[in-house]
Chains A and B, each alone.
Chain A
Amino acid sequence: MRKIINRQRRRSFGLIALFFVGWEVACLVSGMSDLILPRPSQVFTTMFQRMPILWPHILQTLMTTMIGFALGVALGVVLGAVIGVSRTAYETAYPLLIGFSSIPKVAVVPIFVLWFGSGTVPAVLTALSICFFPIVVNIATGLATTEPELEDVLKALGASKLDILWNVGLPRTMPFFFASLKVAVTYAFVGTVLSETVASNRGIGNVMMTASSNFNVPMVFAGLFILAGMGIALYVVFSLIESRVTGWANRKNDFAAA
């Protein structure tokens, strides 16, 4: 079992490496200008050479994203819980939320800048406003899908709504919640970078903006790679937390396969 997984993992790493090699070779063979598409080797070289300059920006983007994400999670959990528990809240808030989530966030950044000036604050808010939606939806769905029979058993024991929420609703929602965290954290990056590109003098978004106006294309790509790397890293972190905390939701399959 373990062996198969390892072999599979090795194969997929191999394929990813092959992708970059292919890219490198294609650029060399076709003589592509690095003003249009730099080779991966150029991108990585730029990234490592300019790391001292890039590092504070990486930290800035990471910090902004994490703050926005944390706030988004808090807001998403509260809203999702309210919507999942109360029918009235569901019917009022859902249309509003769907309306809000359909607004392209590029259109919102100028408003945040207008209110709070450029810099970190609008970036945090943009990250928040993009990432809280999947959390709301997942928490609300999780809470709404409790088994009526179990609820009856507990109510007959004299359980309050809060008892049921605490003992059944919340634990049942955890798999939904953690699944949404993985998605939300990548969304939060998108929000941060979006705002940094438009209105900030710090962060990876700003670095890429500046680099592209100087036609420093390898630097633009270095920014992209860094963002992708951070996104993958956080996704992996939350996947690991998910499988630890809510393993019960997937155990059945493991059991059958073992």
Chain B
Amino acid sequence: MQFGMTIIAAMAPPAVLPAKDLTDPHAGRPVPAVELSRVSVTFGQASDSVAALAETNLRIHEGEFLALVGPSGCGKSTILRLVGGLIQPTEGVVILGGREVAARALRIGMAFQNPTMLPWLTIEQNIMLPLKIVEPFRSQFRKEKRGAFRDKAHDLLAQVGLKGFAGKFPWQLSGGMLQRANLCRALIHEPRMLMLDEPFGALDQFTREELWAIMQKMWLAHKPTVLLVTHDLREAAFLGTRICVMSARPGRIVDDAPVPFARPRTIAMTFEPDFVALNQRLRSLIVEARSGATVSEESL
């Protein structure tokens, strides 16, 4: 961690507008959008408890695209759920935009591997669901803005290549199309923070690459803070501004490095020597983390 341990100072001044006003006047240095400090998460009760995270530290800066990779079951989704305020840390603190995460409205966009569209709503209605929940859209929903919201949904759909599918029901779309719609739903309320848990995991190679490009374009356009959990190292290196590698359970960050490649990145770049070398380095780190896990499980 290059930032040291000035976490408690960041907690002190509760910013009024956490998403925009990110300069901490006391430290004179930008407050990270997300900060996990010495966070531990233990699931279950004493006898059969599982330590998912142990004393994990992680900072994500405003506008950063952080890719999180690591062996299966190491606690990646747990980090994502912590940041989303869906679970509370057993120990430590999770700070968002200078404020501790508690039960509050966050306006975080989330997308999982499973698209979870509601079958009784059309794609357009599904995508507009966050607008029915998040303020200020919520109070505008019944009023004049509805038409504007619909335009926005159509616009997003067009961007992911689903033009003309707004009125269709989820069962009329393929898995890849649903996943595109899922991305739209995560983006419609213009979140400053995006939590993506293997959103492209179940897709074929070509659809996946196409969605990487779309994702990159959207990130370049709006610069939200993104946390992407993925198993695909090429994906991590293509999209991320920074890649964190986690150790096996209980997870902690064992490697944290920026991705130097220029943007916009292209698929062709992923076959260049530098890119391949980065992939190989990541791969060997994860292999190492995994073998560590196997040994410790055998020794039990």
Kindly identify which residue among A147, A152, A167, A171 contacts B81, using a CB–CB cutoff of 8 Å: A152
A246 to chain B, nearest CB (A): 8
Q: Are A147 and B116 in contact (CB under 8 A)?
A: yes
User: For the complex, is B172 an interface residue (Cβ under 8 Å from A)?
Assistant: yes
Interface of A is mostly: helix
Chain B positions within 8 Å of A155 at CB level: 84-86
Interface size on A, residues (CB 8 A): 23
B171/A251 in contact, CB under 8 A: yes
Contact A153 B118 (CB under 8 A): no
Tell whether A171 pairs with B133 under 8 Å between CB atoms, given A152-B81, A152-B110.
Answer: no
In-complex Cβ contact of B118 among A156, A171, A251, A252 (8 A): A171
B132 within 8 A of A: yes
The chain A residue with its CB closest to the CB of B120 is A248
Q: Are A248 and B85 in contact (CB under 8 A)?
A: no
- A168 and B118 in contact, given A152-B112, A255-B171 (Cβ under 8 angstroms): yes
By beta carbon, the residue of chain B nearest A160 is B133
Residues from chain A with Cβ under 8 Å of B169 in the complex = 248, 251
- A149-B116, A171-B118 as given contacts; A163 in contact with B133, CB under 8 Å: yes
Given contacts A157-B189, A158-B106, A249-B119, contact A167 B84 (CB under 8 A): no
Q: For the complex, what is the distance from the CA of A153 to the CA of B127, rounded to whole Å?
A: 12
What's the tally of chain B residues with a CB closer than 8 Å to chain A? 30
State whether B106 touches A157 (Cβ < 8 A): yes
Report chain A residues within 8 Å CB of B195: 156
Interchain CA distance A233-B107 in the complex, whole Å: 50
| Residues of A122-165 contacting chain B, CB below 8 A | 147, 149-150, 152-159, 163
Nearest B residue (CB) for A163: B133
Among B84, B171, B172, contact of A156 (Cβ-Cβ < 8 Å): B84
- Shortest distance between the CB of B270 and any CB in chain A (Å): 29
**Interface positions of B from 104 to 123, Cβ below 8 Å from A:** 104-112, 114, 116, 118-120
A157 engages B116 (CB within 8 Å): no
In the assembled complex, which residues on chain A have CB atoms less than 8 Å from the CB atom of B132?
Answer: 163, 167
Q: Chain A: residues with CB nearer than 8 A to chain B? A: 147, 149-150, 152-159, 163, 167-168, 171-172, 174, 246, 248-249, 251-252, 255
17 additional A-B pairs beyond A147-B116, A154-B129, A157-B108, beta carbons within 8 Å, are A150-B118, A152-B84, A152-B86, A153-B112, A155-B85, A155-B86, A156-B110, A156-B195, A157-B106, A157-B134, A163-B133, A167-B132, A167-B133, A248-B120, A248-B169, A252-B171, A255-B172
